[in-house]
Amino acid sequence: MSHAMVIAFDEGRLDWKHLMGGKGANLAEMTRAGLPVPPGFTITTAACLQYYDADRTMTREQKNEIASALSALEKRSGKKLGDPNDPLLVSVRSGAVISMPGMMDTVLNLGLNDRTVEGLEKLTGNARFARDCYRRFIQMFGDVVLGIPHYRFERVIDAKKKERGVDLDTDLTAEDWVEVTRSFKELVREETGEAFPQDPVDQLHRAIVAVFDSWNNQRARVYRKVHQIPDDLGTAVNVQMMVFGNMGEDSGTGVAFTRNPSTGEKVLYGEYLINAQGEDVVAGIRTPEPIAALADRMPDIYDSFVDIAARLETHYQDMQDIEFTVERGKLYILQTRSGKRTAHAAVKIAVDLVAEGVISREEAINRVDPDQLDQILHRRIDPEADLEVLAKGLPASPGAASGQVVFDADTAERWAQAGKKVLLVRLETTPEDIHGIVAAQGVLTTRGGMTSHAAVVARGMGKPCICGCEEIKIDLKKKEIRVENQVLTEGDELSIDGGSGRVIGGKVPLIDPELSSEFQQLLAWADEVRKLRVRTNADNPVDASKAREFGAEGIGLCRTEHMFMDPERVPKVRSMILAETTEDREQALEALLPLQRDDFHGIFRAMDGLPVTIRLLDPPLHEFLPNLEELQMEVARLQAKGDTDPRELREKEALLRQVRALHEFNPMLGHRGCRLGLTHPEIYAMQVEAIFQAASQAMSEGITVKPEIMIPLVGHVNELKEMRELVEQVAQKVQTTAAVDIPFTVGTMIEVPRAALTAGEIAKSADFFSFGTNDLTQTTFGYSRDDAEGKFLHHYMERKILPENPFITLDREGVGLLVSMGVNEGRMVKTDLKTGICGEHGGEKRSIHFCHEVGLDYVSCSPFRVPLARLASAQAALTEREEVAGTTS
Amino acid sequence: MSHAMVIAFDEGRLDWKHLMGGKGANLAEMTRAGLPVPPGFTITTAACLQYYDADRTMTREQKNEIASALSALEKRSGKKLGDPNDPLLVSVRSGAVISMPGMMDTVLNLGLNDRTVEGLEKLTGNARFARDCYRRFIQMFGDVVLGIPHYRFERVIDAKKKERGVDLDTDLTAEDWVEVTRSFKELVREETGEAFPQDPVDQLHRAIVAVFDSWNNQRARVYRKVHQIPDDLGTAVNVQMMVFGNMGEDSGTGVAFTRNPSTGEKVLYGEYLINAQGEDVVAGIRTPEPIAALADRMPDIYDSFVDIAARLETHYQDMQDIEFTVERGKLYILQTRSGKRTAHAAVKIAVDLVAEGVISREEAINRVDPDQLDQILHRRIDPEADLEVLAKGLPASPGAASGQVVFDADTAERWAQAGKKVLLVRLETTPEDIHGIVAAQGVLTTRGGMTSHAAVVARGMGKPCICGCEEIKIDLKKKEIRVENQVLTEGDELSIDGGSGRVIGGKVPLIDPELSSEFQQLLAWADEVRKLRVRTNADNPVDASKAREFGAEGIGLCRTEHMFMDPERVPKVRSMILAETTEDREQALEALLPLQRDDFHGIFRAMDGLPVTIRLLDPPLHEFLPNLEELQMEVARLQAKGDTDPRELREKEALLRQVRALHEFNPMLGHRGCRLGLTHPEIYAMQVEAIFQAASQAMSEGITVKPEIMIPLVGHVNELKEMRELVEQVAQKVQTTAAVDIPFTVGTMIEVPRAALTAGEIAKSADFFSFGTNDLTQTTFGYSRDDAEGKFLHHYMERKILPENPFITLDREGVGLLVSMGVNEGRMVKTDLKTGICGEHGGEKRSIHFCHEVGLDYVSCSPFRVPLARLASAQAALTEREEVAGTTS
């Protein structure tokens, strides 16, 4: 079967999805299940790949197979393609293995020509319908196959409406459409130099080729990049008998989800339009009615749809996204697929399906994509905040976003690349806007419903979105919005709350999310499965408590430098740095000691009973001083001015000299981490003293402390040896003074390649390794993250020079090799060496899988990523189980 | 024998050097050979280590062994320690396994006390001699054992001379010395609270302990660091019967080399002083007479010394450095050792010894330390230059040096650390000055001879040195020099030519060195033995030719950016960088193309028949633009001034914006290397076009070209793949146009860890790997060399946190592991992959050994290091041979 070029729906199977694509396989499945699916056949992904292999030509074999599938379809439908008396009309739709909604091309009403349109008219007795179909076909074929811009056709229609003095397409008559069609055909001749093709088989072949080609259009490529879908899968093409939702008031079309894709609630959720074709709903040109209203309008249809929806959900064991059409009172199912959903909905649906006995706990764990969780774990608008609500739209994708208003996708992308946060505001979005949606914090449209393009895409990406906010008037020419009595121009701040549909003026204050009971349940199941422990990166008691709430089992990285950044402390820190003698420095440090002690004390309280890894000071000292450039400019200005106070100038000049002395060419590779600890042991000594004093105080309050002192940036075991000695000396001193016995360990970050390469040596002096994979990625690649992301990494991702951004997903071949060398060499020397990761990778799905595979003890991530890490760890463990089962079976 | 604590000279053997130290083993060897060596015994390094193990106490066992060795010595000499009638006097000297001349302590004349001094007087009938010896002993013992500063004793003598109205020590009488001795003893009581020790055995034990302790004095530690001698060897102590060169006009003392240690000429070379003790010669207090003069003064002694010197050289198969003393007409040999020599002398002596049939060619190769070759391979003063010769001194160590005058070692060190080049000017140097000599470009003293401390130490380090330049008057208080009619103060520029003894005003122009015929011979032998090929790093035809003269077998690294730095080209380069469109950039590049073509053409000519590895542009573009800081200051000044031309300001502001846009936080890890080539392929395309046009032109002139195009900073194989494609396309184009077939290869630098870690993948697209170990060291350690060396590496070396500076000697455990992984993985995929190294390590002895061991094909180094690399490669091959022989025998 692996090379089948064409498969009829009634011969296909769901598990041929790799060949038939998602849509085709589902149509086949539904057909076999006896659902009312219009007949048709699928041209497979194998055919698509063969087409590309043959330099974008259809082979004779393909054409032959299509011809015989077509005759079978003609037989089954009782109609013939091109038969003027009873013409078969078909839709030609893309259908990739992994769904890419709206990204590729579709041609509807294919088979119409100057003669069959008359047959259709006679057959249906509906001239307006037939003429409308024909003009739609020419328009779509012209756009998709012939490459004539859509707006060229729209202009013709607009001219006709103007001429007729009407506003809506539906106000145009059959005669009007005949004239429009005539103009369309002229337009085609003008643009292509040829007449509009009248041979339906020729039409079909060309439409199929256009769909194949659309696999590689720009928006499809961007979508695949965003969703990390391989480029070499190709798309299938589905040829299906047309059914018509636009045959009058007893016809219609709609889209529905078997559960609410936003909240997960078990209720049919969708929209329909009477007397319309499918694309009218999706494109958001008319705002549709909610599906529930169908119960009143077409009760029988509604009931049988409800019944079919339930059957489909049970059959697929998942929430379904179903397209249907009613043609003159008869219901057809055009498509079903697993519905895109928000993270919140994904969690609720998965847990509910377990409760309903449909899926197992393990399946539930695998049903939620950790990447999506960002959505629910991100902050939302503070309900206490005083908001200036400007308007309300449809709550199409939950979450809050603030940003500068932009009106087109290109600007959104450009501004975002320049580091701005933008909010994309559009009348409606189209697949061409995809790069703008990627770049924006959120999307706001003034037209379209909950299943419109903007809504579907935004939900898929977890971006806040409001649709159909008609109170807002957009003036694209002036680049401004009018709402209430306000005028906002491009660049003004605006916020949206995609969960409530509120459009809010200015920036909004955000608060922490809470976990739903379903989410708690899912994570509890995950905890039973996972092997990796999950810790958090937290520098203060508030974050620590939050993370603990989210299930963190300790702190994997407590950065002590943030404690130095507190504006009140900065003067003390500076006087410490600028001290000219060790004595002066020690005096300044003494002033900092009680402050640091309080920091640690609060953290120990928050983490009672759990381990807390504290990293001693890491950044170069100049980070705490005034910026060199600014200071320089200031001095230059003071020098140039005639009336400067000479004393002020002298002081600034002196400060400048000191800042310059500490300045570094490559601070990332400079005098920081344990290099500082070695040249300025008094700083580390103060920090260690503060840690142990705090621990001792906490213990006296009945708190269980487990401090783990972490020495940063070790590259040679001798660095760790000396620092360990210092830690132990100071710890001994504090313990003796306080007469307590504090259990503690000393370990190191593995964050430069040399540390990983010599891990065996380093392990001799370390109780634990924590892989700092951010710095390790920087040094292994030789990339400065600050420079790379702005200067060339973007280009690298675009050109696929790197398969992924290594700062987001851990690079297995390079950085990963060092990590596994580090773990293995380290454990060879010390079997009970504790190992973890504390870079941002510790909160990223695929990197967590890697951490599980190399057998780390824990991952540590930011508090809001702790639930994600718990889930991803469980999935990693389940994957391993499956693989083990696979190899043993 | 391995734990022997004490060994008498007549029982010892040369090959017990590890136990007896160099001096002791040689004394034993000479004693066994029947040479006139004063009897004595050695307290071994094992005893020293035991002493340290026992917390710096002598064990009872050690004292017992010393006691029995002492009685044997008393028996042999016929004298008794402390016998008032015929007292045995001994010297107590350090003697390490690896010679550390002058770094440790010595006590002479031990055994004298208030009673034995009278016995000595009676026995010799020379009151002045006896009293002089006693005061010398108290002075030395007081300094070395009791820790009383030397100058405290000197002040007493000065006061006495003033009192007597005399200038020289020799003008003081026996009676004067008696009084001086009395004052010395008072000084000792004052300083130590105890009487000067009168018990000779107690004196002996304390002197031995002081010598043990001197192993760890500061200057010895610095010396070991400089000469990379392990700290845990310990020193032996030699106790030897005193003989006296200061017993009158028929006595004397001297030092001589069997060949000239500066030129290698086969002629006795040395100095002596009549009526003096050994330290008078070495300390440079009196300027001695040349050894040849002894032939007239003491012809018999001279003849027998010449005879002994010849025997010693033959016996040790190497040039010897011999200390002798004449006591009342009898010659004694006090020490012999392999003489320190300049590189020039080392080469000549090694080659001459082969000619004389004394040693083999292989031994000759191993006799010359490649580290030393820097001396002869460095530039010397242009003989055509118009020099202002201020004075002439003794040519104590060859080579030319310019620097700012400093008058003490601490200032020399401080200034050198601040990046200044300094010339150390001293009356005479002492072992306390060692850190200043290390820091200085060269040394100039106004007193002392060719064998003075300054001369010996400077020769050992290969630093230019002039001694005994009495025309120069130093005023230490004013920190100035007077010479001719000039006054130079601290910080003024001065130059010395250590080969001619000329002191020259200001800085001097230098020219390239030439290789002596002996050196050519030695290198020819080396070439027969070595396996590594030796290439050079050269960016222009002049350097390329020079390197070829020195034996380079190709160019391993031709950096193309230096060609961009030419001041005439900078405007063109800048307009290329600042171009706002690709078209503008291409136009600017077109202007650069012919210039680059000429560069490469010249290099191909110079390297006719040899491979030339050309690295495409590597540094970030902002390196070619004005400095951000300066530009910023300028703009700030222009902005602050009231009367600035607004157009000028606008232009500067625009330039500033562009410079800022290109600015990077960590340029070392930024947008450079192939990252530039990938985002700006037009730059690389221009360079490749220039290379192939030049190659084609050269071929048409009958030149054989072997271009190897090197892509820098590859971290992922895809980077190389794309760049390789670009190179091949452009190469194809040029070859088609010119109708030539140019043989070329494409490879990459391995200079970030990821490249080494994924070398197997990268090798698929590479014809060669060139390890850029400077950058690889930076990224593997996470050190920015620019920052590390100034900020913390110094501290790391001092504290031995790192065993070596990894930028000088390749770090085997970390960077080396990556190199060997890279070579192995690469060859696994491509067996004929060519591998080399082009970092500075390619010209460093121990790193070259490493390159040989991992089986690289070649090393590449700067032209002046090519001979060094040839020699070091040969030594590496010989070491391997010995190891193979060792394992098979």
Write out pLDDT tens, residues A406-446: 999 989 988 988 888 999 999 888 777 888 888 899 999 98
A819-829: average pLDDT: 97
Non-local (6+) Cβ contacts of A650 within 8 A are: none
Are residues B195 and B301 both part of a single domain?
no
Does A754 contact B at CB distance below 8 Å? yes
- Residues in chain B with CB shorter than 8 Å from the CB of A780 are 715, 752-754, 757, 779
How high is the mean pLDDT of chain A? 90
- 3-state secondary structure (DSSP) of residue B613: strand
Checking phi first, is residue A401 left (phi over 0); if not, alpha (psi -120 to 50) or beta?
beta
The residue to which tokens 């401080």 are assigned = B414
Non-local (6+) Cβ contacts of B751 within 8 A are: A782, B712, B713, B771, B772, B773, B774, B775, B776, B779
- Return d(Cα A319, Cα A311) in angstroms, integer: 11
Q: Which residues of A are catalytic?
A: 453, 838
Are residues B469 and B576 both part of a single domain?
no
Q: Determine the pLDDT at residue B247.
A: 80
Quote the minimal CA–CA distance from B405 to chain A in Å.
Answer: 25
Supply the DSSP symbol for A579.
-
Supply the DSSP symbol for B475.
E
- The verdict on a CB contact (< 8 Å) between B669 and A782 is yes
User: Quick check: is B580 in a domain?
Assistant: yes
Are residues B229 and B260 both part of a single domain?
no
Q: Determine the pLDDT at residue B665.
A: 85
Amino acid at A556: G
Domain boundary among B220, B241, B262: B241
Q: Are A207 and A107 in contact (CB under 8 A)?
A: yes
Q: Are B753 and B780 in contact (CB under 8 A)?
A: yes
A519: its two tokens: 């989410």
CA angle B581, B586, B589 (to 5 degrees): 130
Quote the minimal CA–CA distance from A103 to chain B in Å.
Answer: 28
Which pLDDT band holds residue A225 (cuts at 50, 70, 90)?
A: confident
Q: Are A871 and A515 in contact (CB under 8 A)?
A: no
Does A477 contact B at CB distance below 8 Å? no
Does B797 contact A at CB distance below 8 Å? no
- The dihedral over CA atoms of B816, B822, B825, B831, expressed in degrees to the nearest 10, equals -110
User: Quick check: is A95 in a domain?
Assistant: yes
User: Quick check: is B731 in a domain?
Assistant: yes
Does A777 contact B at CB distance below 8 Å? no
How high is the mean pLDDT of chain B? 90
- Residues in chain A with CB shorter than 8 Å from the CB of B668 are 665-666, 669, 782, 784
- 3-state secondary structure (DSSP) of residue A361: helix
Q: Determine the pLDDT at residue A1.
A: 38
What does pTM read for this prediction? 0.79
- Return d(Cα B502, Cα B482) in angstroms, integer: 16
By CB atoms closer than 10 A (0-12, 13-18, 19+), residue B856 is buried
How many CB atoms neighbour CB B743 within 10 A? 12
Q: Which CATH number do you get for residue B326?
A: 3.30.470.20
Q: Which CATH number do you get for residue A168?
A: 1.20.80.30
Query: What proportion of chain A, given as a percentage, has pLDDT over 90?
Result: 64
* pLDDT by 10-residue block (mean), chain B, 889 residues: 79 91 92 93 95 92 94 93 93 91 88 94 87 93 93 92 87 92 95 95 96 91 83 94 87 93 92 81 71 93 95 93 93 90 92 96 95 75 83 85 92 88 89 84 86 75 84 87 88 89 88 85 97 95 91 96 79 86 87 93 97 96 84 81 82 84 88 94 96 97 97 97 97 96 97 98 98 96 86 86 92 97 97 94 95 97 91 96 75
The residue to which tokens 């928050």 are assigned = A606
Which residues, listed in sequence order, are joined to residue A272 by a DSSP beta bridge? A254, A289
Helices and strands in chain A: count of H runs, count of E runs? 36, 31
Pairing of strands B289-290, B380-381: unpaired
Q: Which CATH number do you get for residue B675?
A: 3.20.20.60
How many domains are there within chain A? 5
Quote the minimal CA–CA distance from B797 to chain A in Å.
Answer: 12
Q: Determine the pLDDT at residue B171.
A: 84
Q: Which of B618, B620, B624, B617 is nearest to B671 (CA)?
A: B620
Which residues, listed in sequence order, are joined to residue A395 by a DSSP beta bridge? A466
- Counting one residue from A and one from B, how many pairs have CB atoms under 8 Å apart? 205
Q: Which residue is closest to A621 within chain B, CA to CA?
A: B791
A356: its two tokens: 């309903």
User: Quick check: is B354 in a domain?
Assistant: no
- Return d(Cα A237, Cα A219) in angstroms, integer: 18
Checking phi first, is residue A666 left (phi over 0); if not, alpha (psi -120 to 50) or beta?
beta
Are residues A383 and A493 both part of a single domain?
yes
User: Quick check: is A730 in a domain?
Assistant: yes
For A641, which of B640, B758, B801 is closest by C-beta distance? Answer: B640
- CA A430 to the chain's CA centroid: 18
By CB atoms closer than 10 A (0-12, 13-18, 19+), residue A798 is exposed
- The verdict on a CB contact (< 8 Å) between B637 and A640 is yes
pLDDT at A2 over 60: no
- Return d(Cα A675, Cα A673) in angstroms, integer: 5
pLDDT at A578 over 60: yes
- Return d(Cα A664, Cα A628) in angstroms, integer: 10
Q: Which residue is closest to B621 within chain A, CA to CA?
A: A791
The residue to which tokens 């539930």 are assigned = A364
Q: Determine the pLDDT at residue A3.
A: 63
- Residues in chain B with CB shorter than 8 Å from the CB of A656 are none
Q: Which of B48, B674, B838, B851 is catalytic?
A: B838
Does B794 contact A at CB distance below 8 Å? no
Quote the minimal CA–CA distance from A614 to chain B in Å.
Answer: 22
- Residues in chain B with CB shorter than 8 Å from the CB of A801 are 678, 716, 718-719, 722
Q: Are B305 and B324 in contact (CB under 8 A)?
A: yes
Catalytic annotation present for B465: no
Non-local (6+) Cβ contacts of A261 within 8 A are: A269, A319, A321, A339, A340, A341, A342, A345, A459
- Return d(Cα A521, Cα B164) in angstroms, integer: 104
- The verdict on a CB contact (< 8 Å) between B666 and A671 is no
- 3-state secondary structure (DSSP) of residue A477: coil
- Return d(Cα B668, Cα B504) in angstroms, integer: 40
For A781, which of B679, B715, B761 is closest by C-beta distance? Answer: B715
Are residues B678 and B649 both part of a single domain?
no
Q: Which CATH number do you get for residue B482?
A: 3.50.30.10
User: Quick check: is B781 in a domain?
Assistant: no
Highest average pLDDT, of A225-229, A510-514, A798-802, comes from A798-802
Domain boundary among B309, B338, B367: B338
Write out pLDDT tens, residues B591-619: 999 999 999 999 999 999 999 999 999 99
Q: What is the CA radius of gyration of chain B?
A: 32
Are residues A409 and A325 both part of a single domain?
no
Does B765 contact A at CB distance below 8 Å? no
Quote the minimal CA–CA distance from A874 to chain B in Å.
Answer: 30
- The dihedral over CA atoms of B514, B520, B524, B529, expressed in degrees to the nearest 10, equals -80
Does B419 contact A at CB distance below 8 Å? no
Give me the domain span that covers residue A497: 379-511
Interface of B with A in 699-728 (CB under 8 A): 713, 715-716, 718-719, 722
Q: Are B556 and B537 in contact (CB under 8 A)?
A: yes
User: What separation in angstroms does the CA of B193 have from each of A382, B207, B356, B392, B497?
Assistant: 81, 19, 61, 49, 50
What DSSP assignment string belongs to A192-237? HSSPPP--HHHHHHHHHHHHHHHTTSHHHHHHHHHTT--TTS-EEE
How many CB atoms neighbour CB A299 within 10 A? 10
Which pLDDT band holds residue A281 (cuts at 50, 70, 90)?
A: low
Are residues A441 and A469 both part of a single domain?
yes
- Return d(Cα B292, Cα B254) in angstroms, integer: 11
Q: Determine the pLDDT at residue B2.
A: 45
Q: Determine the pLDDT at residue B1.
A: 38
Domain boundary among A511, A526, A541: A511
Q: Determine the pLDDT at residue B99.
A: 83
- Return d(Cα A260, Cα B749) in angstroms, integer: 56
More confident of the two residues A604 and A223: A604
What DSSP assignment string belongs to B311-352? HHHHHHTS-EEEEEEEETTEEEEEEEEEPP--HHHHHHHHHH
By CB atoms closer than 10 A (0-12, 13-18, 19+), residue B773 is buried
Are residues B500 and B615 both part of a single domain?
no
- The dihedral over CA atoms of A141, A145, A151, A156, expressed in degrees to the nearest 10, equals -40
Q: Which ipTM score applies to this complex?
A: 0.78
pLDDT at A299 over 70: yes
Supply the DSSP symbol for B433.
G
Q: Determine the pLDDT at residue B379.
A: 67
A529-545: average pLDDT: 94
Write out pLDDT tens, residues A719-735: 999 999 999 999 999 99
Are residues A630 and A616 both part of a single domain?
no
- Return d(Cα A86, Cα A91) in angstroms, integer: 16
Write out pLDDT tens, residues B687-707: 999 999 999 999 999 999 999
User: Quick check: is A799 in a domain?
Assistant: no
Are residues B326 and B399 both part of a single domain?
no
User: What separation in angstroms does the CA of B391 have from each of B124, B285, B405, B501?
Assistant: 45, 20, 15, 8
User: Quick check: is A368 in a domain?
Assistant: no
- The verdict on a CB contact (< 8 Å) between B669 and A783 is yes
Q: How many residues does chain A have?
A: 889
Quote the minimal CA–CA distance from A173 to chain B in Å.
Answer: 52
CA atoms within 13 A on the CB side of B755: 32
For A754, which of B665, B780, B795 is closest by C-beta distance? Answer: B780
- The verdict on a CB contact (< 8 Å) between A753 and B784 is no
By CB atoms closer than 10 A (0-12, 13-18, 19+), residue A297 is middle
pLDDT at A466 over 80: yes
Does A132 contact B at CB distance below 8 Å? no
Q: Are B7 and B41 in contact (CB under 8 A)?
A: yes
Q: Determine the pLDDT at residue B675.
A: 96
- The verdict on a CB contact (< 8 Å) between B782 and A754 is yes
Are residues A670 and A650 both part of a single domain?
no
Are residues B657 and B678 both part of a single domain?
no
A290: its two tokens: 């909610």
